[in-house]
Amino acid sequence: MGLPFSAFNKFGLPGLSSVTTGQVYDRHFKDRGTGNFADFHIAYVDFCQYFNTVMPGQDFDTPGLEDIKKFYENTWEHLKDEVEKKKKFIEFMEANIHEASVDDSLFIMAGLAAPAAAIIAKRSSESIPQVKKFKLQYIPNVVFVPLCTLIAIMGATAVQMNKKSKKPTS
């Protein structure tokens, strides 16, 4: 997790690392009651949702429920000092949150196959009576092919999101 932030700092975005550590902690944990695991877990899920929406174009895989529970029971619960809690949370965050891995092969295959499939589907629709009523032959190829490609890529994204949501977290 530290690598993208250090890269941002090298490109002249000052203070980004402090935004992702200090301000995130202050926003989601400092003033919230996290006296029991349920409250801590809700704050952590809220933090993860915020983090994935703030970072442009990136998603992050977060630790599973068991890892969060272990951190809470072994570390968070026993700390009383707010500064120490912040330090331990940042250490946990840096050690357990990683960039989400994406399999680009599905997108590449959809992007390469969709234009040819769109032309074949359009030509074959002229001879199929059930599809002929949609009058696809009147749509110009410069509109139809990109539209079909976009739909194919959106479908590939949906399949990938579905696989990701079914994958058990560690």
d(CA 126, CA 33) in angstroms, rounded, equals: 65
What does the pLDDT read at residue 55? 61
In terms of Cα–Cα distance, which of 121, 123, 114 is closest to 154?
114
Q: Among all chains, which residue has been given the structure tokens 């429920």?
A: 65
Q: What predicted TM-score, i.e. pTM, was given to this entire model?
A: 0.45
What does the pLDDT read at residue 146? 93
pLDDT tens digits, 127-168 = 888 888 888 888 999 999 999 999 998 888 778 766 665 655
What does the pLDDT read at residue 170? 46
The region that residue 15 occupies, defined by phi over 0 for left and psi between -120 and 50 for alpha, beta otherwise, is left
What does the pLDDT read at residue 115? 93
What does the pLDDT read at residue 149? 93
d(CA 94, CA 146) in angstroms, rounded, equals: 41
pLDDT tens digits, 8-54 = 445 444 444 444 566 767 777 777 777 788 888 778 777 777 766 66
Task: Check pLDDT > 50 for residue 112.
Answer: yes
What does the pLDDT read at residue 102? 67
pLDDT tens digits, 57-104 = 556 677 777 888 888 888 888 888 888 888 888 888 888 877 776 677
